[in-house]
Amino acid sequence: MQPLPGWPHCWPCFCLLLLASLGARGALQYPRAAPEQVHLSYLGEPGSMTVTWTTWVPAGSEVQFGVHVSDPLPFRALGTASAFVDGGALRRKLYIHRVTLRGLRPGVQYVYRCGSAQGWSRRFRFRALKNGPHWSPRLAVFGDLGADNPKALPRLRRDTQQGLFDAVLHVGDFAYNMDEDNARVGDRFMRLIEPVAASLPYMTCPGNHEERYNFSNYKARFSMPGDTEGLWYSWDLGPAHIVSFSTEVYFFRHYGRHLIERQFRWLESDLQKANKQRATRPWIITMGHRPMYCSNADLDDCTRHESKVRRGHHGKFGLEDLFHKHGVDLQLWAHEHSYERLWPIYNYQVLNGSREAPYTNPRGPVHIITGSAGCEERLTPFVIHPRPWSAVRVKEYGYTRLHILNGTHVRLQQVSDDQDGKIVDDVWIVRPLLGRRMYL
């Protein structure tokens, strides 16, 4: 047990509080109404940003915000709180607060604090996302970031302070695990990412490490677009349509067999809609935790020729055909604790644009596996001989910078934390403005 902050003087009171806290089962460590674990997300409504945070007692849900650091913050927005009870033995109760700020001016920097009269957070800053397709979003992309050994976090923090990104894509596997130690590991993780996540929309998809208690820590702690509690959703960012989904429906089927089909039908219709607006938003980018292909030296699904994510369950609801059919440009994956870039590929066939410029007018989707942000499980080795479809493999901690320059040009850079921020992979994907719907 840690000493209770601000409670050193009165021992009888302390003991009373202790008993009361024990009664409240587990609220012991942070018995306050002050917000913590503050983070942002974007629910897809232009000019909005959503703030999510945690308290340990019921409290108001308010955000005060404005454009100047020193002034009193002139605007306020109200939201709601919901109680989340973790599935662990202590049944710890978290109050998750959600407030959506609206009418934000595109590209303008805002200052905010969240909480209520019972306690306020410190002030944070963020830049409102720009609207429309004609700007160049920059994203940090990674998966598999733990509360222990979070190697990429210091540099991500620095990049965030320097304004290098507009959003983060965390491709599954958080904290290792959010439910552990009666969800205290989740609390520790959410505090750890706050310097990044309170300043940038932190967009997620579920990984296998979120599985406990039916993904409830994942669903409760994040606030993603749509009505599936972050299991699958999509959103538009500049010239891109970004689709997030759960590969876990293929593996933890006891939580709901119907989820594979429900998600698949949703993906189908979402990709159809995305193709209707493709002339204005040419890029379709997917993010899901477990890859279809990988050349790691383990026994994961992606090492199997007929991986479930690729081919589906008994050959049904496989994602490779679906994504190929709808002309998905770029597929972001994690799960393997390494970085791997594939040549454009469909059904094990390498489909380079040309030998000289494989990613210019590629004839199949491009896959990137970026799961080396750092966690207690450390890095994953590769098999000795790269597969013919594997272009680059890096067994070093790091993360990916994704720059969606415009409707035809996207740049991917892999940052190595082992090499003090050196760019160890750098590639442009170039596709024409029109005719993106199908690969020929």
Ligand X SMILES: *[C@@H]1O[C@H](CO)[C@@H](O)[C@H](O)[C@H]1NC(C)=O
Q: Is 401 helix (H, G, I), strand (E, B) or coil?
A: strand
What mask, x for binding ligand X by CB under 6 A, covers residues 98 to 137?
----------------------------------------
Please state the closest distance from residue 415 (CB atom) to ligand X, in A. Answer: 22
Q: Is 420 helix (H, G, I), strand (E, B) or coil?
A: coil
163 contributes a contact to ligand X by CB under 6 A: no
Looking at residues 418 to 437 of the shown chain, list those that interact with ligand X (rule: CB under 6 A).
Answer: 433
Q: Which of 201, 365, 371, 407 binds ligand X (CB under 6 A)?
A: 407
Please state the closest distance from residue 183 (CB atom) to ligand X, in A. Answer: 17
Q: Is 68 helix (H, G, I), strand (E, B) or coil?
A: coil
Residue 291 or 358: which CB sits closer to ligand X?
358
Distance CA 206, CA 58 (A): 27
Residue 16 or 357: which CB sits closer to ligand X?
357
Using CB under 6 A, count the residues that bind ligand X: 15
Residue 21 or 408: which CB sits closer to ligand X?
408
Please state the closest distance from residue 250 (CB atom) to ligand X, in A. Answer: 14
DSSP-derived secondary structure for 7-33: --S-HHHHHHHHHHHHHTSSTTS--S-
Q: Is 156 helix (H, G, I), strand (E, B) or coil?
A: helix
Residue 7 or 255: which CB sits closer to ligand X?
255
Query: What does R_g of the chain's alpha carbons equal in angstroms?
Result: 22
Instruction: Enter the tokens of residue 159.
Output: 């990049």
Distance CA 212, CA 214 (A): 5
Residue 355 or 385: which CB sits closer to ligand X?
355
Q: Which of 406, 418, 427, 437 binds ligand X (CB under 6 A)?
A: 406
Distance CA 19, CA 174 (A): 33
User: Is there a contact between 142 and 402 (Cβ–Cβ < 8 Å)?
Assistant: no
Looking at residues 194 to 233 of the shown chain, list those that interact with ligand X (rule: CB under 6 A).
Answer: 214, 229
Longest CA–CA separation in the chain, Å: 77
Selected range binding ligand X among 73-81, 114-122, 151-159, 405-413, rule: CB under 6 A: 405-413
Residue 214 or 360: which CB sits closer to ligand X?
214
Helix axes 212-221, 180-197, angle to 10 degrees: 30
Looking at residues 252 to 311 of the shown chain, list those that interact with ligand X (rule: CB under 6 A).
Answer: 255-256
Q: Which of 405, 411, 427, 437 binds ligand X (CB under 6 A)?
A: 405
User: Is there a contact between 57 and 95 (Cβ–Cβ < 8 Å)?
Assistant: yes
Please state the closest distance from residue 256 (CB atom) to ligand X, in A. Answer: 4
Please state the closest distance from residue 407 (CB atom) to ligand X, in A. Answer: 5
Residue 21 or 208: which CB sits closer to ligand X?
208
Q: Which of 79, 143, 358, 364 binds ligand X (CB under 6 A)?
A: 358
Please state the closest distance from residue 128 (CB atom) to ligand X, in A. Answer: 24
Distance CA 339, CA 305 (A): 20
Instruction: Enter the tokens of residue 15.
Output: 């003991």
Looking at residues 325 to 354 of the shown chain, list those that interact with ligand X (rule: CB under 6 A).
Answer: 343, 350, 352
Backbone angles phi, psi at 348, to 5 degrees: 70, 5
Residue 75 or 252: which CB sits closer to ligand X?
252
E-state strands within 179-337: 202-204, 233-237, 240-244, 283-287, 312-313, 316-317, 330-333
User: Is there a contact between 374 and 397 (Cβ–Cβ < 8 Å)?
Assistant: yes
Which spans of this chain sit near ligand X (rule: CB under 6 A)?
Answer: 214, 229, 255-256, 343, 350, 352, 355, 358, 405-409, 433
